[in-house]
Amino acid sequence: MKKIGLKHLEKTAKAFEIVIALLLLIVIAIKLVEAVFELTGADLVLISADFERILSMAFTLVIGVEFVKMLFKLTPETVIDVLLFAIARQTVIYHERTIDLLIGVIAIAGLFAAKKYLIYNSKQKSEGE
């Protein structure tokens, strides 16, 4: 029974991620059309919201979905995934100074290194035994 509930939660979380990604692609396509019209000199505004605000909302939703996944599947990978999205959001949306961007990139690289060398290598060693 518990295994069935977890599978259902995983599928639901994945569906939310797909919906968020599709909505973000639609917004990007609309903003691309606006950019083309702006380059040609036409004044066309299809979405009045700032793209950074929309991107911030999308990141927040994805972080929420990843956090829910972390709650029902508490593994080092899910914790690192939540941290990756949170740091990526901070780096992409709030990049006021160059040093902040550099620190964000270093933090993301460190998390990827931790994921590769600490988690995957320990899994490979345990599977090899």
User: Nearest to residue 104, comparing CAs of 118, 83, 120, 90?
Assistant: 90
Average pLDDT over residues 88-116: 88
Tokens of 14: 């994945």
Encoded amino acid at 9, one letter: L
Q: How confident is the model at residue 21 (pLDDT cuts 50, 70, 90)?
A: very high
Taking the C-alpha atoms of residue 2 and residue 16, their distance in angstroms, rounded to an integer, is: 21
Cα distances (Å, whole numbers) of residue 120 to 73, 77, 105, 117, 126: 17, 9, 21, 6, 10
Q: What is the pLDDT of residue 125?
A: 62
pTM of the model: 0.72
Average model confidence (pLDDT) across the chain: 83
Q: 36 pLDDT band (50/70/90 cuts)?
A: confident
Question: pLDDT digit string (tens) for 51-91?
Answer: 888 888 888 899 989 888 888 888 888 888 889 989 988 88
Look at residue 5 and tell me whether its pLDDT is greater than 80.
no
